[in-house]
Structure 1
Amino acid sequence: MGASRVDMKVVLLGKEYGGKTSLVERYLHDRFAGDTPYQNVRNYNATIGAAFGAKKVDIGDKVLTLGVWDTAGSERYEAMSRIYYRGAKAAIVCYDLTDRTSFERARFWVNELMKNEEGCKIYLCGTKKDLVISDKRTREVDYHMTTDYAEEIHAEVHETSSKTGENIFELFTKIAKDFASNPENIKKERDKDKETLDLYEDNKKKFGCCG
């Protein structure tokens, strides 16, 4: 899909193996990568640089096309991730509900966004909710702690499961609704993603598969 057809740029940020790619796969293609446990990271390919997908969303009488960027979580791709979130109107900052360190990494990306992208609305997203539902002892990130933090930074909290699909479509629909509530947003954003897409294609050639 060409950049000229993207109305809104959405970027996903967070720690490597924090569930970003699985979340995008569930949203864009309504699928989950098999029944293997999340913890067995050998069954998942880490994103290199970034991966891109687009999807149309019906919001009332409007049809928006969301351009969704899944960035690499590895710290060695940190500088590249900054390029991909440039100009994003929404950021889904992901953290693994079973990994406390992933929430600290989420705080890092929130600070980056607040310093560099003032116009970007932040959505905190706890992933792998199915794991904490099946065994509450696996939860390492407290819900009330995240909601207190979200209130402090004027963000929202969504806890999701890519395995079951819980709250994922609701999250992206809320993002689209928030964006569409200001008609000027669509006018300003159309055609702005070409530079990012060109960079993505260049990196695909350099590194191979990016998703």
Structure 2
Amino acid sequence: MNGQQVDVKVMMLGKEYVGKTSLMERYMHDHFLVGSYQNTTGAAFVAKVMSVGNRTVTLGIWDTASSERYEAMTQIYYLGAKAAIVCYDLTDSSSFEQTKFWVKELQSLNENCQIYLCGTKNDLLEEDQRLRRVDFHDVQDFADDIKAQLFETSRKTGQSVDELFQKVAEDYAMWMPSN
């Protein structure tokens, strides 16, 4: 790869138990762990290098703790973030309401951060549509208002997970000026 190196700091935000850690696990290792995850304490970091056109893009992904006791510490991670994947559980309406808090906080601390809204646990809806508690059109309206892109994913099946992270990488590879 002869092109320019692009480093993108990506934040994973959202209410506890929406699937941020397992979404990142699916993307990084292409597998789904059955059973419960341990709550993230502070933040976890992984990096993935990929090629986008003639550029090398490194996504530095920060999976942040969501509980209130870590809130002040999480704000530190916003500094320098180029992208934020704000997650909510498609089967939990309160998790979508919480995205508004994360977006507002992020925008007040880092106005240049591109936001990607990510509905998780879409596999549960494939089994039973009655489990959906977050209306797609409401989320699309919110995404339009904040100029965010919207993805509905399943960390269990992998649906739209790679596409989400690929879009983040492509957006920043395109926005960076050529040498």
Task: Tell me how far apart the structure 2 counterparts of residues 86 and 161 of structure 1 sit (CA, whole Å).
Answer: 28
Q: What is the DSSP-based 3-state SS (H/G/I as helix, E as strand, rest coil) of the residue aligned with 1:7?
A: strand
- What is the TM-score normalised by the length of structure 2? 0.94
Q: Percent identity?
A: 58
Instruction: Answer yes or no: is 1:87 the counterpart of 2:80.
Output: yes
Which of the two has greater strand per residue? 2
| Match of residue 59 from structure 1 | 52
CA shift for structure 1 position 55: 0.3
CA shift for structure 1 position 116: 1.2
Task: Tell me how far apart the structure 2 counterparts of residues 150 and 105 of structure 1 sit (CA, whole Å).
Answer: 14
**Regions of 4+ moved over 6 Å:** none
Deviations 1:160-205 (A, max 9, x none): 0000000010000100111111224x99xxxxxxxxxxxxxxxxxx
CA shift for structure 1 position 6: 7.5
The answer as to whether partners of 2:6 and 2:172 remain within 8 angstroms in 1 is no
Q: What is the DSSP-based 3-state SS (H/G/I as helix, E as strand, rest coil) of the residue aligned with 2:12?
A: strand
How many pairs align?
175
- Counterpart of 1:175 in structure 2: which amino acid? V
Instruction: Answer yes or no: is 1:30 the counterpart of 2:23.
Output: no
| Match of residue 143 from structure 1 | 136
| Match of residue 9 from structure 1 | 9
Which of the two has greater helix per residue? 1
- What is the TM-score normalised by the length of structure 1? 0.80
Runs of 5+ unmatched residues, structure 1? 37-42, 188-211
The answer as to whether partners of 1:18 and 1:102 remain within 8 angstroms in 2 is yes
Give runs of aligned pairs for residues 12-161 of structure 1, distance below 5 A.
Answer: 12-34=12-34, 36=35, 43-161=36-154
The answer as to whether partners of 2:118 and 2:153 remain within 8 angstroms in 1 is yes
The answer as to whether partners of 2:10 and 2:61 remain within 8 angstroms in 1 is yes
Task: Tell me how far apart the structure 2 counterparts of residues 48 and 103 of structure 1 sit (CA, whole Å).
Answer: 22
Q: What is the DSSP-based 3-state SS (H/G/I as helix, E as strand, rest coil) of the residue aligned with 2:141?
A: helix
The answer as to whether partners of 1:6 and 1:67 remain within 8 angstroms in 2 is no
Task: Tell me how far apart the structure 2 counterparts of residues 6 and 154 of structure 1 sit (CA, whole Å).
Answer: 23
After superposition, the CA RMSD in angstroms is 1.5
